[in-house]
Structure 1
Amino acid sequence: MTVLDLTHSCDMQFVAEVARESGQNLTLCYQCGNCTAGCPFTFAYDLPASSVMRALQWGQREAVLSCRSIWICATCKTCSTRCPNNIDVARIMEVLRQISRREGYAPEKQIKQFQDSFLQSVMRHGRVFELGTMMSFIARSRRLTDMDLGPKALARGKLFLRARDIRGRDEVERIFRRYRESLEK
């Protein structure tokens, strides 16, 4: 687990940027720890959710945007539902991922490669096409160690050989287009 050094200078513009993009009042967090206590992924985090929130309040741009935790977060919203001040911590984690991507902080290449593959699949089909996502990730990462999982998942009916597009794919494409346009502003 990473220890935060709060003696570094505060980047209050960063705090304001995250507050604006997430629509959350970051000053409401008083470090109760409910977000960390409820998170199913705390064991894998380098900074627990409450520490991400504290570092964020202190404007620790580098520490927050380079931590692995924001990329491991599954956005299950357990943290958000447990927050006594109704802070949508999961939304903040998503905004932090977006800013981290924009500014080139993605800490682990494979995490970013998987997210790129996942989002590409959703954009193309309106939902995740697991086999396509897996093949795209393998092509991007050149990681062949998980190849043995494919036949097992196929045998159990967990992978489909063809993508099943949803109705309203054009609406999903509009969502992605709006997101890309917001990045250009």
Structure 2
Amino acid sequence: MATATLYLPAGKVTVDAAFREEVARLSGQPLELCFQCQKCASGCYPTREGDYTPNEIMRLIQYGAREAVLKSRTIWLCTSCETCGLRCPNGIRMAEVMDTLKQMAVARGIVPDGEISPLFHNLFLNEIRSTGRVQETMLMLKYRLKTGGLLADAKLGWQLFRRGKLPLVPRLKKDPAVRRIFELAGGRG
């Protein structure tokens, strides 16, 4: 396979021709339909703090810039609000694409410097996988134990607990359907 080089503001990027097909297959989205109308970017608030807008991520995928995309901070800022997907005239669900990119980055061990979103992402999915739902108290406790700041949140946690907003005992109702979802996803997540 011949290699090509793409020049971005961040530097040279090696092009991986199979990247677009891989993302399209894993996300189930018709990436080839993106014609850069930028409607996805116009409503995306979180990625204003990122390095690329959703349409730029899509263009980089189309170019095959695997490393640039997977090292991007933008994919970790996506909250899957679906605003971009609702605006897309071709029905591309960019949140599905972003989630796929997160999974691909995690699988390759790629995390942008100083980014803690992958940790939260993994803790969140592991919480769902193990209990069938998200128990916020345990999720935040695990997150703070790994990142620090547990004492900083103690006062707020106590206030929430006193008001009945932070249950200590989870309402566990393990649903076999959740396990099946993870099985169907092929272990992604």
Per the normalisation by structure 1, the TM-score is 0.86
Mapped partners of 1:154, 1:31: distance in 2: 47
Deviation at 1:6, TM superposition (A): 8.5
CA distance 1:41–1:28, change in 2 (3 Å): same
Cα distance in 2 for partners of 1:181, 1:156 equals 38
Where does the alignment leave 5 or more consecutive residues of structure 2 unmatched?
1-7
Is residue 112 of structure 1 aligned with residue 115 of structure 2? Answer: no
C-alpha displacement of 1:152: 3.3
Give the RMSD, CA atoms, in angstroms.
Answer: 2.2
Q: What are the ranges of 5 or more consecutive residues in structure 1 without an aligned counterpart?
A: none
Report what 2:36 is aligned to. Answer: 31
Matched pairs, number: 180
Post-superposition offset of 1:122: 1.2
Give the aligned partner of residue 173 of structure 1. Answer: 179
Please point out which of 26, 48, 53 is paired with 1:48: 53
For residue 144 of structure 2, the aligned residue among 116, 138, 142 is: 138
- Asked whether 1:81 is paired with 2:82, we answer no
State the TM-score, normalized to the length of structure 2. Answer: 0.84
Distance change in 2, residues 1:72/1:155 (3 Å): farther
Distance 2:93 2:101 in 1: 13
Provide closer, same or farther for how the CA distance between residues 68 and 120 of structure 1 changes in structure 2, counting only shifts above 3 A.
Answer: same
Instruction: Find the aligned partners of 1:182 and 1:118 in 2 and give their Cα distance.
Output: 13
Letter in 1 for 2:91: N
- Take 1:78 and 1:156, find their aligned partners in 2: how far apart are those partners? 33
Could you say which residue in structure 2 is the equivalent of 1:153?
160
1:128 maps to 134
Amino acid at match of 2:142: S
Match of 1:8, SS? strand
Structure 1 vs Structure 2: percent identity of aligned residues? 38
More strand per residue: 2
Q: 1:113 to 1:54 in 2, by over 3 A?
A: same
Deviation larger for 50-59 or 139-148: 139-148
